[in-house]
Amino acid sequence: MQLEEKDWETLLTRLKAGKCTPFLGAAVNHGILPLGGEVANRWASDFDYPLESRSDLSKVAQFLAIKTDASRPKEMILDLLDREEKPFNFNDPDEPLNVLAKLPLPVYITTNYDDLLFRAIEHHGNAVGRRAAIEICRWNSRIAFQPSLFKRGSKFSPTGHTPVIYHLHGHRSLLDSIVLTEDDYLDFLVTMSQEETFLPPRIQESITGSSVMFVGYSLADIDFRVLFRGLLGNLEAALGKMSVAVQLPFDDANPNKQKAEKYITEYFGKTRGTELRVYWGTARSFAKELWRRWREFNA
């Protein structure tokens, strides 16, 4: 379904109450960091990747891991992100990360490795003392015993004033936390399906008690659909509420544009009890409209 006026009103009401959890994918960083498909195609050419799936980063990274070792593609992706990061304009009002950073939300969940959202929250929250914290998903035994905000006995509880950014697929500060190769994704999914406490209770509570907002993903990609269905148990209560997914429209030159968009909308609209609305547009256009409506809503 498309976003209607009543959907916007519901979304804004829950944002104001801190009852919305964003899930952020790579395209939220568009224009600042290279996208996965760009990196995959470059590596495929540089390292003579022999298969047709040259734009699939997990497959190309798996090829490199076999040729070298499991850590090498992770080292390479972090080095590339360091070298090719473009300047981040904190004063751009339509930049999705700036808009998201200014919303009074307690929990952000991201599958990105970078610190851009953290830096945006620090910048925009500086005047009011808003400080973000970073937490990394413990999806494998190599990082299971790393220090955690949510360790047993911890009194930390994320709020709009002290939000947490939960890095589901790892963070640049901890190489073994990075989910990159096909093997990484498979191991991640196995752990997610077998561990009832895969997400910390406070993260689960934040999700189940709110709407969710997917920004920066391609809903047609198998990686997103596997993540979506894998997390469905944790997301089920949230997706029973009105939630939003931002999706880049299909090319106007595509003769099946309307049918493709209808299929994507129906797929998520009919997935086990979900109330997911699709906003057809870029992350930037969504952020611009969201911020305009947010300011009007709070005027």
Q: Give the C-alpha separation, 115 to 101, whole Å.
A: 12
pLDDT score, position 274: 66
Q: Give the C-alpha separation, 17 to 104, whole Å.
A: 8
Q: Give the C-alpha separation, 294 to 299, whole Å.
A: 9
Contacts of 267 (CB under 8 A, 6+ apart): 219
pLDDT score, position 236: 62
Q: Which CATH architecture has domain 5-33+85-297?
A: 3-Layer(aba) Sandwich (3.40)
The amino acid sitting at 98 is N
pLDDT digits (tens, 9 = 90+) for 228-278: 766 766 656 555 678 888 987 777 777 777 887 787 777 766 665 667 788
Q: Which one-letter DSSP state was computed for residue 4?
A: -
Q: Give the C-alpha separation, 250 to 282, whole Å.
A: 11
Q: What share of the chain is helix, strand, coil (3-state, %, to 5)?
A: 45, 10, 40
pTM above 0.85, yes or no: yes
280 has pLDDT over 70: yes
Task: Return the residue matching tokens 């498909």.
Answer: 37
Task: Return the residue matching tokens 């003579």.
Answer: 48
pLDDT score, position 110: 95
Beta-bridge partner residues of 135: 166
Q: Determine contact, residues 83/274, Cβ cutoff 8 Å.
A: no
**Percent of the chain having pLDDT more than 90?**
63
pLDDT digits (tens, 9 = 90+) for 167-204: 999 999 999 999 999 999 989 988 887 776 678 888 88
Q: Which one-letter DSSP state was computed for residue 134?
A: E
5, with CB counted inside 10 A (0-12, 13-18, 19+), is exposed
Question: Of 168, 120, 166, 174, whose CA–CA distance to 146 is shortest?
Answer: 174
Contacts of 274 (CB under 8 A, 6+ apart): 239, 240, 243, 268
Q: Give the C-alpha separation, 227 to 186, whole Å.
A: 11
pLDDT confidence tier of residue 79, bands split at 50, 70 and 90: very high
pLDDT score, position 209: 80
What's the chain's Rg over C-alpha atoms?
19
Q: Determine contact, residues 27/248, Cβ cutoff 8 Å.
A: yes
Domain boundaries, the chain: 5-33+85-297, 34-84
Average pLDDT, the chain: 88
Phi and psi, residue 100, nearest 5°:
-60, -35
pLDDT score, position 297: 96
